[in-house]
Structure 1
């Protein structure tokens, strides 16, 4: 039975873990076409150009000089790909806006053309000299320069784990980041027409579980399992470069560097969407934070939880409560809220009653520009039973966490202390202290209106 329980525990863990555990490679895989990134589709769906631009890329390489970090020993392998020029040329081709020409290995091209020319002269000595001429090489109207300028390792690391009597599991994560710059250079006068900057994070995750326990005398059970998932650096570089090319095209249209065949309505939509991205980028800080206020002016929330009384009787029991409230923002840090609550108070075999209350609070957000923020609140209220004459005044204060999982919606968890001005909530008056109660709950919040 003990072994069956342990096995069941491991099965439950595996089925509730990440899906990657059940997608482990067990056979040799055939070669496939390269994966697309989230930026590839956006790049291929850009408005069509009026005229394609001949572009040359001499080099677009790793400028970080950073080698891959290892936990043990050292390595001469670089942290990012050295073939970024090839990725950039493919992105230029996918955009349908450019005609890339060979410049990275121009010496090879010129040498091959000389071989062709000399071979034709050998076999066609008596022919017309004009027949031996090759088609002239294209020249670039613009050059694209730049490179991968940074690779920052371990900008965020963390994890969580627990172990009890030899059984436990843990999860770890690490986030790296790359940054690239692209600049557009005119070959006619050397002017730098446009510069864009793009960054991309790279996520690595690990989950493991283990069991080490004696199931009987001289019988030891030891089980280990887990997996690690690392985002490919090559795909991160590709996505950053593709996003950079998309930005070059859109900003080039805005600045009149080139023209498109798309109508004004289509371009207005493109500009509006790109403007939102620029606004978010200007307000972005490290670690997913922003300088913009993300919560709107008005909000409503609905919560539920338990209430415990602290009164003259012993053995308080948990009673359910529900709450509905509305709020208005006074500033990014402060909200004014009013709420209606229905709740019960009870002591085992002594006292049990239902109450309704109306509370007014001021809320203070510690991190109003973050999705996850602690908040504090406090205010005054009045509560009464179903009997009209049985009521009490009180003050309340509490602490909680709010997380926005969507643009305007979030969840809250909180704890609250209610200090009353009455010693007769439980229908008796004893001792020197008034009756109080506290509650803990979870709720849903929705914001609307202007920021």
Structure 2
């Protein structure tokens, strides 16, 4: 019954993890409302004012993906993203106050209307009002904004979790898509591309459900299901990506002295510095929002402190101290070879207490090379020998024997040169003579656990240089 309650509580936890969505289920028609703002709408509106607004024209900021909406069954002719990207971009330009957008998407309609106005005024001049003013000229753009939505990637990450016990269970699923926007500013006087920015935004979909399936009496079946699905609107994700692209274009233009804020250089420098810090952080996280860490130092020394736990003919052992030194060198980006030597103690009750020295050679695999928190696994073979009991504490090589070991651990990089690692390994000698007693059908073995400090470095290689030019 206790296990059943635990499973029920887990299922309820899945269900109520996002109570806002569950308890805000629509049951009535809703009135029209002003459109939602994205996370970057407020940043654009509150951005410092420019020294002078830039007249900008947008002819067509379109969907260049050709992507249709992803469906599980059948086919659809609905596009994955909105076809109104030009309108969104013009709205973002207007909100920023840095640009004066002019109508270029439907320029033909504007020119036709101006022709109607011009011909009407000509008639008035002929018949009744010779002083009818001429139509003022159109504004022309100093900058054209081009680009579009160049990518919509479906299911870049999918996953979920579920459990069911005696008819009670729950599950959660998620899916992540990704939209990518390019925006560039082009000078109308020279045709030069002044600046190009690239922005991406993920789109999250989640589904959570819980169910109960139980016979409550003879021929009486109780079945209950509940849950919800929540999809991030593609239109809002697209709007946020475009707004962030406009924000990035303004700041990078300030950085290149293409335009300036009304307050001058001091505010310009602060805005650029803040933007560059944000850009550096975003570039380091790469695609899956994990911080990218480029470790290019190929060698390392390690100092490990920990404990050993004996398992043998004297029964369960006690945790005893261990110390060892190691050296690792990388063979590839994900594989290295390491040599470790150390001293450890094994103890089993009051009858067994011995100190050993060991020398291990391991092949290590780093599972996430470019993460600061990186798990690793390793395996290899080695030698171990009991230390002599006299005061010299020398190694008694007469009882040396071989062994194999394998282990797992996690490495955390404090900096380029220093990291800490937590590890655990299983050591299996080739014989059953570890404690001096051959008994039972299982070979004696022991576990090692530890915490290590690792120093990373590279050997400096001086390449021979010459002042002579290369010859073909």
Q: Same fold (TM over 0.5)?
A: yes
- Partner of 2:194, secondary structure, is strand
Question: What corresponds to 1:246 in structure 2?
Answer: 247
Question: What corresponds to 1:33 in structure 2?
Answer: 34
**Kept after mapping to 2: 8 A contact 1:371/1:404:** yes
- 1:61 equivalent in alignment to 2:62: yes
Question: What corresponds to 1:14 in structure 2?
Answer: 12
Question: What corresponds to 2:128 in structure 1?
Answer: 126
Cα gap change, 1:446/1:413 in structure 2, threshold over 3 Å: closer, same or farther?
closer
What do the CA deviations read for 1:324-383 (whole angstroms, capped 9, x no partner)?
A: 999999888779999x99999778xx9899x9x999999763322035633136899999
Question: What corresponds to 2:143 in structure 1?
Answer: 142
Show structure 2 runs of 5+ residues with no match.
458-472
Per-residue deviation at 1:196? 2.1
Cα gap change, 1:207/1:358 in structure 2, threshold over 3 Å: closer, same or farther?
farther
Aligned partner (choices 446, 450, 461) of residue 437 of structure 1: 446
**Kept after mapping to 2: 8 A contact 1:303/1:324:** yes
Cα gap change, 1:298/1:167 in structure 2, threshold over 3 Å: closer, same or farther?
farther
Per-residue deviation at 1:167? 3.4
**Kept after mapping to 2: 8 A contact 1:337/1:360:** yes
Question: What corresponds to 2:197 in structure 1?
Answer: 196
What CA distance in whole angstroms lies between the structure 1 residues aligned with 2:224 and 2:421? 38
What CA distance in whole angstroms lies between the structure 2 residues aligned with 1:263 and 1:395? 71
Per-residue deviation at 1:203? 1.9
Give the CA RMSD over aligned residues: 5.2
Per-residue deviation at 1:420? 8.2
Per-residue deviation at 1:308? 5.7
**Kept after mapping to 1: 8 A contact 2:407/2:426:** no
Question: What corresponds to 1:224 in structure 2?
Answer: 225
Question: What corresponds to 1:213 in structure 2?
Answer: 214
Q: How does 1:291-310 map to 2 (within 5 A)?
A: 292-293=293-294, 309-310=310-311
**Kept after mapping to 2: 8 A contact 1:88/1:241:** yes
Cα gap change, 1:19/1:294 in structure 2, threshold over 3 Å: closer, same or farther?
farther
Question: What corresponds to 1:23 in structure 2?
Answer: 21
- 1:173 equivalent in alignment to 2:174: yes
TM-score (norm 2): 0.69
What CA distance in whole angstroms lies between the structure 2 residues aligned with 1:324 and 1:205? 48
**What is the total number of aligned residue pairs between the two structures?**
437
Cα gap change, 1:301/1:83 in structure 2, threshold over 3 Å: closer, same or farther?
farther
What CA distance in whole angstroms lies between the structure 1 residues aligned with 2:224 and 2:344? 49
- Partner of 2:94, secondary structure, is helix
Q: How does 1:261-272 map to 2 (within 5 A)?
A: 261-272=262-273
Please identify, of 113-122 and 187-196, the stretch whose mean Cα deviation from structure 2 is larger: 113-122
What CA distance in whole angstroms lies between the structure 2 residues aligned with 1:343 and 1:45? 66
Per-residue deviation at 1:271? 2.9
- Partner of 1:234, secondary structure, is helix
- 1:104 equivalent in alignment to 2:102: no
**Kept after mapping to 2: 8 A contact 1:309/1:438:** yes
- 1:416 equivalent in alignment to 2:425: yes
Show structure 1 runs of 5+ residues with no match.
none
What CA distance in whole angstroms lies between the structure 1 residues aligned with 2:120 and 2:371? 69
What do the CA deviations read for 1:62-119 (whole angstroms, capped 9, x no partner)?
A: 1222221221232222110011111101111222211111111223333444444555
Question: What corresponds to 1:374 in structure 2?
Answer: 375
What CA distance in whole angstroms lies between the structure 2 residues aligned with 1:151 and 1:5? 44
Rg comparison, structure with higher value = 2
- Partner of 1:251, secondary structure, is helix
Cα gap change, 1:112/1:345 in structure 2, threshold over 3 Å: closer, same or farther?
farther
TM-score (norm 1): 0.72
**Kept after mapping to 2: 8 A contact 1:365/1:376:** yes
**Kept after mapping to 2: 8 A contact 1:383/1:391:** no
